[in-house]
Amino acid sequence: MKKKKKKEKEIKDIISERKEALKAVSLFLILCFFLNFAYFKIAGEQIIPRSFTASLVALFLNLFGLNAEVNGTFVLMNSSSLDVIGECTGIFSIIVYCSVIFAYPTSLRNKSVGLIGIPILYALTLVRLISTALVGVFIPSMLDFFHTYLWQVFLIVFVVLLFMIWRDKVVEVK
The answer to whether the CB of 50 falls within 8 A of the CB of 58 is no
Angle at 91 between CA 103 and CA 127, to 5 degrees: 120
Nearest to 111 by CA among 93, 98, 122, 124: 98
Selection from 96, 109, 124, 106 nearest residue 39 by Cα = 96
Identify whether the C-beta of residue 54 lies closer than 8 Å to the C-beta of residue 74. Answer: yes
170 and 101 in contact (C-beta within 8 Å)?
Answer: no
Residue-by-residue pLDDT tens, the chain, 174 positions: 667 777 777 777 777 777 888 888 899 999 999 998 888 888 777 888 999 999 999 999 999 888 999 999 999 987 788 899 888 899 999 999 999 999 999 999 999 999 999 999 999 999 999 999 999 888 989 988 998 899 999 999 999 999 999 999 999 875
Q: What is the pLDDT of residue 174?
A: 56
**pLDDT value of residue 66:** 87
| Buried/exposed 88-101: b ≥16 CB within 10 Å, e otherwise | bbbbbbbbbbbbbb
Taking the C-alpha atoms of residue 33 and residue 50, their distance in angstroms, rounded to an integer, is 21
Predicted TM-score (pTM) of this structure? 0.85
Residue 118, C-beta contacts closer than 8 angstroms, at least 6 positions apart: 94, 97, 98
DSSP string for 33-76: HHHHHHHHHHHTT-HHHHHHHHHHHHHHHHHTT---EEETTEEE
Give the residue among 120, 134, 48, 42 at the shortest CA–CA distance from 84. 48
